[in-house]
Amino acid sequence: MYSSNLKGFILAVVSSAFIGSSFIIKKKGLRKAGVNGPRAGSGGYGYLLEPLWWVGMITMIVGEIANFVAYIYAPAVLVTPLGALSIIVSAILAHFILKEKLQKMGMLGCLLCIVGSTVIVLHAPEERSINSVEEIWELATQPAFLLYTASAVAIALVLILYCAPRYGQTNIMVYIGICSVIGSLTVMSIKAIGIAIKLTLEGTNQAKYFQTWIFAMVAITCIITQLNYLNMALDTFNTAIVSPIYYALFTSFTILASAIMFKDYSGQSASSIASELCGFVTVLSGTAVLHSTRDPDTPLITDLYTPLSPKVSWYIQGNGELWKQKDEDGSSPSFITILRQDYFKSKRCSQLFNFQGMVPSICSVWPFVF
């Protein structure tokens, strides 16, 4: 059993290394493709013709395959938390290759992830021996897991049908909640399929059981749903916020589902369970610290005061009258408007205008949209 867990651990670490590296390789490819055409963030697809991007994609596929095989040999409570190691790999490689500085707090986050992962590995439960898909089916149809599955589906439907149309664009927990709950069922189905493939390769054909195909259909449905709402979350919210929250919720629900279905903690001492939970909390803390040190994504327009084109010069008199002096194209003044003093209550405006003394002043390059 320990040998099986060791195989799963090695595969999970290899998977994290490949997946973490793929992020950097794909980003290099995206940057290279963006030089010669529209960037992916602007709706361009030029990266599909960039060989470096495809190298990154192949690297990610290899990592995902290794992660899939890891679930065959080790319990989900061991494999899933180790996914945090991919964050460390990508952060370190980004520091050296992409010149994205890894700050001291980021190094602390990496250290916390490593320490937490070590604790989890040392106290991980043993993988139970399963000889057929029918055994997995019995585990999946036990009352406790059926209750979990029904609850997960009900929560997902409420989030999809009611919350997503109303709050999806403003509340980050809606899309991530759907991904995390459905993701836990994805992992259970993938693990069942992996075990079926392993037993088939060992000489016991599992394709003859209808349960194998049910697990396959559930896995495909869950993966499509999960990826769809994960893409929506990434497209709507900052990646630096989405990643740690998604990792925390997805890993928590997966550990809960695995504990219910496979009874991973059965026979373990209270100290071992407590140690593993502490290791998991340490990994979550490290992930949060690491992501908190990332530079935020640069928006196309940072705020209201970003200069627009064409630029306009404005004159302001002591009586509060405001008129356009000249556009960049050299056109003459076309209108006069009055701007209320209470519009300039922001900190930025108070630094530029002196309304107390009503001193005539000139503000150049001050963009307004009328």
Could you give the 3-state DSSP secondary structure of residue 353? Answer: coil
Contact present, 81 and 120 (Cβ < 8 Å): yes
**Is the same domain home to 15 and 66?**
yes
Q: Is residue 340 part of a domain?
A: no
* Averaged pLDDT, 28-48: 73
Domain C-terminal end among 275, 296, 317: 296
Provide the residue type at 1 as one letter: M
Spatial CA neighbour of 261 closest among 190, 180, 176, 175 = 190
Burial of 278 (0-12, 13-18, 19+ CB in 10 A): middle
**Is the same domain home to 34 and 149?**
no
Domain C-terminal end among 248, 269, 296: 296
Give the confidence band of 365 by pLDDT, cuts at 50, 70, 90.
Answer: very low
Residues 6+ apart with CB under 8 A from 21: 56, 59, 63, 89, 90, 93
**Is the same domain home to 60 and 175?**
no
**Is the same domain home to 21 and 89?**
yes
C-alpha to C-alpha distance for 275 and 269, rounded to whole angstroms: 10
Say yes or no to pLDDT of 142 above 80.
yes
Give the confidence band of 96 by pLDDT, cuts at 50, 70, 90.
Answer: confident
Return the pLDDT at 341: 43
Query: Lowest-pLDDT range, 48-52, 199-203, 317-321?
Result: 317-321
Say yes or no to pLDDT of 303 above 70.
no
Provide the residue type at 32 as one letter: K
Q: Is residue 325 part of a domain?
A: no
Structural domains of the chain, count:
2
Say yes or no to pLDDT of 109 above 60.
yes
Q: What letter does residue 324 receive in the DSSP assignment?
A: E
Domain with 193, as residue range(s), is 104-296
Give the confidence band of 151 by pLDDT, cuts at 50, 70, 90.
Answer: very high
Provide the residue type at 200 as one letter: T
pLDDT in tens, 73-89: 888 888 989 988 888 88
**Is the same domain home to 82 and 227?**
no
Domain C-terminal end among 46, 67, 100: 100
Return the pLDDT at 104: 85
Q: Which long-range contacts (CB under 8 A, 24 or more apart) does 103-106 make?
A: 103/293, 105/289, 105/292, 105/293, 106/289, 106/290, 106/293, 106/294
User: Does residue 356 or residue 275 have the better pLDDT?
Assistant: 275
**Is the same domain home to 269 and 193?**
yes
Instruction: Work out the angle at residue 67's Cα, subtended by the Cα atoms of residues 174 and 288, and round it to the nearest 5 degrees.
Output: 45
C-alpha to C-alpha distance for 243 and 230, rounded to whole angstroms: 10
Q: Is residue 313 part of a domain?
A: no
The beta strands (E) that lie in the chain are given as: 312-316, 321-327, 336-338, 361-363
pLDDT in tens, 175-223: 999 999 999 999 999 999 999 998 999 888 999 999 999 999 999 999 9
How many CA within 13 A on the CB side of residue 279?
A: 24
Q: Is residue 336 part of a domain?
A: no
Q: Is residue 121 part of a domain?
A: yes
Return the pLDDT at 43: 56
**Is the same domain home to 31 and 167?**
no
**Is the same domain home to 151 and 292?**
yes
**Is the same domain home to 87 and 112?**
no
Q: Is residue 175 part of a domain?
A: yes
Q: Is residue 326 part of a domain?
A: no
C-alpha to C-alpha distance for 48 and 54, rounded to whole angstroms: 7
Q: Is residue 327 part of a domain?
A: no
Could you give the 3-state DSSP secondary structure of residue 337? Answer: strand
**Is the same domain home to 48 and 125?**
no
Give the confidence band of 44 by pLDDT, cuts at 50, 70, 90.
Answer: low
Say yes or no to pLDDT of 171 above 50.
yes
**Is the same domain home to 149 and 85?**
no
pTM assigned to the model: 0.68
**Is the same domain home to 115 and 203?**
yes
pLDDT in tens, 331-359: 444 443 443 444 444 444 444 444 344 33
* Averaged pLDDT, 3-24: 89
